[in-house]
Amino acid sequence: MNGFAAAAAAETSGNFQRARELYLQLLQTEPRNAAALHRLGVVELRLGRSGEAVALFQKSLAIAKNLEVYLDFGVAMAGLCRWDAAATVYAAALRVAPESVDARYGLALALHSQGRPQDAEPHYRRVLATHAHLGEVHNNLGVALFSLGRTAEAAEAHREAVRLDHGDSTAWGKLGVALHGLGQVGEAEAAIREAAGLAPQIVENWYNLACLLDADGRSEAAVAAGRIAVALDPAGPANWLALGNAAQAADRRQEAWRAAAAAVRLTPSDPAARNNLANALRSLGRLWDAVAEYRAALALQPDFPVAEVNLALALSILCQPEDALTVLRGLIARQPLSSDAWLRMGRVLVEAVRPDLAVAALRTAVAIAPGDPEPHADLAMASTMCDRSAQSAEACRRVLRLAPDHTAALGQLIHQQRALCDWRDLDRLEALLLQRVRDGADGVSPFELLSCDSTLADQQAAASRWAAAKSRDAIPAVRPAVSSVDRCLRVGYLSSDFREHAMGHLMVDALETHDRSRFAITAYSTGMDDGSALRRRFERSMERFVDLRRHSDADAAAAIAADGIDILIDLTGFTTFSRTAILAARPAPVQVNWLGYPGTLGASFVDYILADPAVILPGEEMFFSERVVRLPDCYQPNDRRRAIADATPSRADCGLPEDGFVFCCFNSSYKLTPALFDGWARILTAVPGSVLWLYAGNPQVAANLRREGEARGLDPRRLVFAPPLPHAEHLARHRLADLFLDTLPYNAHTTASDALWAGLPVLTRRGTAFAGRVAASLLLAVGLPELIVDGRDDYEVEAVMLARSPDRLRALREKLARNRPTCPLFDTPRFTRNLETAYRAMWDIHRSGSAPRHIAIAADGTAGPVETN
């Protein structure tokens, strides 16, 4: 056996060290033996001596241009990741052997690895032209095509790869990614799961599966896949990011935070990881920590719009609107066409109660992204705050054209059309809204159901879903231990309406008359200071008046808890500027829904609702998430000091006829309905010369109602409209009316109290829900039950009879005048003593360790349990 043969035999047997010795011996005698130089280079490569191998290949090629040497030389360069050199070598090989498939494929791989997929593609295709059975080549062609954005072609290439080799897990995985890019989620998932089944140890498959499932909204399944990915490769930051994103979507907040924190530890200089960590911290209520992480992300990448918008959101939640606006202005200065930035700016301005500026910002967002429903929806809300109901309604219609299932926009459209008395298509819209509530849709504001023909069950369902959504991010407040020596019950009143507002007029006297020897009263204001005399009166009448408007929900709850409040009463409910998340944090051991919202809050974190026997009937407790506490007379307080201007305007001053019966209704326009107006038209027709005096702060309301009146055969002059006036003057003009006609399904509440206080009888029709029974409660408490009717026909007949019976109407006025000084409705000290009895009963139940239960306060001021079916 000659020297070369002996060396080759050793190489073939795997004895590379012996082969090396023999090739070296041969080359000492034959230094230009090209074959020996080539094989020694291969042996050196096998022994991990790449540098020596490269030198030997070069020497061999200098003697003879041999294809096999080029191919092994190319492998050596690829092994060193010197793709440019590998490409040069393979190109040289093709000059020697243009038909070499190996050289062609090697060149394709080298070009692809250099980031030149467009140059690699034709070489892959040349290989496949003669060797179409090579699944690996199809797979690599697919990878190149995918990176070139030719996703459909990539998917076909990967399909061919798995057809040729069904067990190729890599090809299955790449096929899944391509199909996901095409939006074929089901097929993509099947392909990725096939890859994971064939190669469960490959982390890429689980990472891709986690991303696909998360994008498809299946967050729990995505979390499971993400956990496998991080278990297989805990050092891979992308796996932690995928797990964190899935956990965040699944509302697994602690796990999302841990995953995001792990990603940041692994790649502290990655701004995207910092942004994700900040998002996780924000969802945990750690807002200042979130702000720090957003700022860290922006320090790493100053031009990072997503982080800037998120930072503005966190600052807004922290009630730092100016800081949030500064961030957004900087972003908009660089990217004036960022719809996300303009949208967030609009939201910040809405939360800061600067609606005019919010409208301007949101109009810009709409102009930039006219096909996105969210800017239109926010524009609708901001327009409402500016009393631009027509603009709000049009924005809602645009939302519904873009997103027909947008239930919140549907509800708001209905409310704005009601506010405008624009009743076109209203019956159909309301029926659609109620059906969505009954189908379990989210996003329906419970307040918007009160004016619809909704049931107590409808209202409870909508309230429960609304409360759950509003309280989702609430962080439990830490309460101090209750002092055993402090016998004074600490009561907190939470409201956005300690100002010139209907609730303010009702509440102020009751708060002033609390027994300060037994109750310590704190007002927690979350609304604006309007500078009114009523606001100053609230501030003077409380032991403590705490302005929480600039506090975040979490900080506000923490402040209330730190004060050791025993019973917290929410006076806002689901009306404008409500802060449900404060209640959700449970800052007080006993929490009560009262006065601001006539219905259940549907929340597990509210224990009681204050009512009376007229507004919540026996047996209806099941429709209230709270336990019902019935006060003996009326659930509504009143202000005995409510001023009525001395001067009464003339009928001519108010546009009323000197003669003729004046029916009036000063309710908000959204409480008027087409069916109600039908009845009013029949009443006016039956009482010649009569007029209907209505409140209309918006000129469009008057125009619409005149049109509706004409459609019912009424002379438009029989509708007279009252403009806004200061409260004392508004009360004084009630003296010009003869009878107040109430609305249904949403009664007059404060408006009815105003009328009765001013001496004007109110005719009401009793409804089927809390909001439709308030006027009946008021009339019972003022001693005028004869003005309560149950049916539509009875209501219309009674209105006509009273208009035709001046003596009877005069007797009612005289009875109201006699009752007013002593009746329960306006006996605020009596009301407050009953209220305090209710608070004591609630507290005694809590202190005993018992669960909240229904309570009835008797006329003698004692409290007792209520038996329910």
Range(s) within the chain of domains with CATH label 1.25.40.10: 3-203
Helix (H) or strand (E) holding 523: strand 519-525
Tell me how far apart the alpha carbons of residues 432 and 646 are, in angstroms, rounded to a whole number: 49
Provide the residue type at 57 as one letter: F
**Helices vs. strands in the chain: H and E counts, helices first:** 40, 15
Nearest to 808 by CA among 739, 859, 863: 739
**CATH number for region 662-828:** 3.40.50.2000
519: which DSSP letter?
Answer: E
Neighbouring-strand partners of residue 693: 664, 720
CA–CA distances in Å: residue 313 to residues 264, 306, 358? 21, 11, 15
Q: Which helix (H) or strand (E) holds 172?
A: helix 169-181
Q: How far apart are CA 237 and CA 274, in angstroms?
A: 12
Residue pair 530/499 in contact (Cβ under 8 Å)? The answer is yes
| Orientation angle between helical segments 67-79 and 34-46, nearest 10 degrees | 20
Coil vs helix vs strand at 699? helix
Long-range pairs for 345-353: beta carbons < 8 A, 24 or more residues apart: 345/312, 346/375, 346/378, 346/379, 346/382, 347/316, 347/378, 348/312, 348/316, 348/321, 348/324, 349/321, 349/325, 349/382, 350/378, 350/381, 350/382, 350/385, 351/316, 351/321, 352/321, 353/385, 353/528, 353/577
In a 10 Å sphere around its CB, with 0-12 CB exposed, 13-18 middle and 19+ buried, how is residue 440 labelled? exposed
What confidence score (pLDDT) does residue 1 get? Answer: 57
Burial classification of residue 712, based on how many CB atoms lie within 10 Å of its CB (0-12 exposed, 13-18 middle, 19 or more buried): middle
SS (H, E, C) 440-457: CCCCCCHHHHCCCCCCHH
Helices (H), 182-270: 185-198, 203-215, 219-232, 237-249, 253-266
Q: What tokens were used for 346? A: 């609009």
Structure tokens at 808: 């009877």
Could you give the C-alpha distances from 366 to 311, 343, 348, 354, in angstroms and in order? 22, 8, 16, 18
Q: 595: which DSSP letter?
A: S
User: Helix axis angle, 219-232 relative to 237-249, nearest 10°?
Assistant: 160
- Residue 756 tokens read as 């009765």
Which uninterrupted H or E stretch holds 109? helix 101-113
Give span(s): CATH 3.40.50.2000, the chain.
662-828
DSSP for residue 389: H
The answer to whether the beta carbons of residues 118 and 148 sit under 8 Å apart is yes
Report CA-CA distances (Å) from 536 to 422, 500, 529, 542.
Answer: 38, 10, 9, 10
User: Which DSSP state fits 488?
Assistant: S
Rounded-to-integer distance, Cα 124 and Cα 115, Å: 15
Give one DSSP letter per residue of 565-581, joined into a string.
Answer: -SEEEES-TTSTT--HH
What confidence tens digit (pLDDT) does each residue in 203-212 have?
Answer: 999 999 999 9
Per DSSP, the three-state class of 495 is: strand
Task: Give the chain's radius of gyration (CA, Å).
Answer: 39
> How much is the pTM?
0.84
Q: What is the 3-state secondary structure (H, E, C) of 629-695?
A: EECCCCCCCCCCCCCCCCCCCCCCCCCCCCCCCEEEECCCHHHCCHHHHHHHHHHHHHCCCCEEEEE
First to last CA, the chain: 107
Question: Among 237, 243, 195, 205, which Cα is nearest to 221's?
Answer: 243
Q: Which is nearest to 866 in space by CA: 674, 621, 510?
A: 621
d(CA 305, CA 338): 9
| Other CB atoms within 10 A of residue 83 CB | 18
The answer to whether the beta carbons of residues 281 and 289 sit under 8 Å apart is: yes
Coil, strand or helix: which one is 739?
strand
Q: Which residue has the tokens 């080759």?
A: 8
* Contact call for residues 774 and 744 (beta carbons, < 8 A): no
Residue spans of the chain under pLDDT 70: 1, 482-486, 866-869
The region, left, alpha or beta by phi > 0 then psi within -120 to 50, assigned to residue 795 is alpha
The answer to whether residues 245 and 276 touch, using CB atoms and an 8 Å cutoff, is yes
Distance from C-alpha of 323 to C-alpha of 317, rounded to nearest angstrom = 11
DSSP classification of residue 476: P
CA distance 245 to 403: 26
Identify the CATH assignment for 3-203 out of 1.10.3720.10, 1.25.40.10, 3.40.50.300, 1.10.443.10: 1.25.40.10
Separation CA 515–CA 510 (nearest Å): 10
Are 301 and 289 in contact, with CB atoms under 8 Å apart? Answer: no
Contact 867, 590 (CB under 8 A): no
CA separation for the pair 455, 728 (Å, rounded): 36
Q: Cα–Cα distance between 222 and 227 in angstroms, integer?
A: 9
pLDDT for res 482: 63
Q: Which H/E stretch holds residue 327?
A: helix 321-334
Q: How far is CA 134 from CA 102, 128, 137, 446, in A?
A: 12, 7, 6, 64
Q: Which residue carries 């009743």 as its tokens?
A: 423
